[in-house]
């Protein structure tokens, strides 16, 4: 059994969160509309998830960490989402989030966009995850459906996961158009929560779509770096950055404040239906960008296999 720590988040009402997020986002976007709605059916386009919603026992897991990737990779760090679901006391959980692929399965490094309904006693797992890699032929993005090649639910090194029973229910809808500030969509939401709730940590997850515009996205190379990556500059020289176009379907995990678990406070991976995907940094078209998202506050945090030796490099 991996090292698992559990923590109870502060859980504001959805109505209170609407006000906090509305106020925070309007400092960074020209048009902002936050409200409580019924979660749309996420089995439909553009989401095409294996579960209808993001409700029911909402939880967040921070598994492993960047210290298993940098300065040098620890390839033995592999995890299984079916096991993680049990460790989060939610067998059969529906997962969304951001992580790295298992290199022993895919034969190298890759961005993983996890979208998985874990197995339960009655049903096998449904894996609708995507892998984003650098195309070795032209240097472009190669986005693959995980299940087109692999049958497992593994990942490697690190993942930030939002887990729920995957049920319909009330969620927070966030519409934010035309960016007027410097922060990205998720940082802006996270900082609004941090400012209002201070050292009472609030965790959220869900999904959002960049409906118009373009975004700065990175993909890790398939080859792990042979020389140690010691600074953010080293990491940025190793990563490959792209400008990808909407619509991009993004899976964010955010925590307003780290209560001492060496957390990655925000992490968002995206996919699309036009062959692009990876790790979201920021939109590059502030004047035309349109975000539409659905979020739910998490009840519990699970910190799984926290690295003993840590650092703050490569957390952007």
Binding segment for Zn ion among 90-98, 126-134, 230-238, 293-301 (CB under 5 A)? Answer: 90-98
Q: Is 148 exposed, middle or buried (0-12, 13-18, 19+ CB in 10 A)?
A: exposed
| Full 3-state SS string of 33-52 | EEEEEECCCCCCCCCCCCCC
Signed CA dihedral, 148, 153, 155, 158: sign only:
positive
State the minimum distance, in angstroms, from the CB of residue 267 to Zn ion: 6
Does residue 133 touch Zn ion according to CB under 5 A? Answer: no
Least distance in angstroms from the C-beta of 218 to Zn ion? 7
In angstroms, what CA-CA distances link 306 with 64, 66, 92, 98, 202?
A: 5, 10, 23, 17, 20
Distances (CA, A) of 291 to 17, 115, 143: 18, 20, 22
Three-state DSSP state, 284: coil
Q: Which stretch binds Zn ion (CB under 5 A): 46-54, 93-101, 137-145, 168-176?
A: 93-101
Looking at beta carbons only, is 70 or 98 nearer to Zn ion?
98
Closest to Zn ion by CB, 26 vs 279, is 279
CB of 264 to Zn ion, least distance (A): 9
Distance, CA of 293 to CA of 209 (rounded, Å): 6
DSSP 122-173: SS--EE--EEEEE-TTTS-EEEEEGGGT----EEEEEEEEEEE--B--EEEE
Binding characters for Zn ion, 224-263, by CB under 5 A (x = yes): ----------------------------------------
**How far does the chain reach from its first CA to its final CA, in angstroms?**
30
Among 264, 279, 303, 306, contact with Zn ion (rule: CB under 5 A): 279
CB of 158 to Zn ion, least distance (A): 8
132 versus 172: smaller Cβ distance to Zn ion: 132
Supply the minimum distance, in Å, between the C-beta of residue 257 and Zn ion: 21
In whole angstroms, the minimum distance from the beta carbon of 154 to Zn ion comes to 17
C-beta of 77 vs 279, nearer to Zn ion: 279
Q: Which stretch binds Zn ion (CB under 5 A): 78-86, 91-99, 160-168, 182-190?
A: 91-99
Question: Which positions lie near Zn ion, rule CB under 5 A?
Answer: 98, 279
């Amino acid at each position: 059994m991996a090292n698992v720590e559990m923590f109870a988040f502060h859980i504001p009402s959805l109505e209170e969160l609407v006000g906090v997020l509305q106020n925070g986002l309007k400092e960074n976007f020209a048009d902002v509309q936050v409200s409580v709605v019924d979660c749309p059916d996420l089995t439909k386009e553009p989401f095409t998830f294996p579960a209808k919603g993001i409700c029911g026992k909402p939880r967040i897991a921070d598994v492993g960490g960047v210290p298993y990737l940098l300065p040098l990779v620890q390839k033995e760090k592999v995890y299984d989402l079916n096991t993680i679901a049990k460790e989060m006391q939610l067998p059969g959980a529906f997962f969304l989030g951001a992580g790295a692929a298992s290199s022993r399965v895919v034969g190298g490094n890759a961005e993983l966009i996890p979208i998985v309904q874990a197995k339960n006693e009655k049903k096998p797992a449904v894996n609708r995850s995507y892998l984003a890699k650098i195309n070795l032929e032209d240097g472009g993005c190669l986005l693959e459906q995980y299940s087109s090649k692999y049958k497992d639910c593994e990942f490697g090194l690190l993942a930030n996961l939002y887990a729920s029973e995957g049920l319909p229910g009330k969620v927070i809808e966030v519409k934010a158009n035309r960016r007027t500030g410097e922060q990205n969509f998720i940082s802006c939401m996270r900082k609004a929560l941090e400012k209002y709730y201070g050292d009472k940590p609030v965790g959220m997850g869900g999904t959002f779509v960049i409906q118009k515009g373009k975004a700065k996205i990175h993909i890790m190379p398939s080859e792990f770096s042979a020389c140690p990556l010691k600074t953010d500059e080293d990491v940025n020289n190793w990563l490959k950055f792209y400008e990808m176009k909407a619509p991009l379907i993004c899976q964010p995990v955010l925590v307003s404040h780290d209560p001492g678990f060496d957390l990655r406070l925000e992490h968002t991976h995206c996919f699309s239906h036009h062959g692009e995907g990876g790790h979201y940094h920021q939109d590059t078209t502030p004047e035309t960008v349109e975000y539409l998202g659905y979020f739910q506050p998490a009840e519990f945090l699970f910190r799984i296999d926290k690295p003993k030796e840590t650092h703050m490099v490569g957390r952007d």
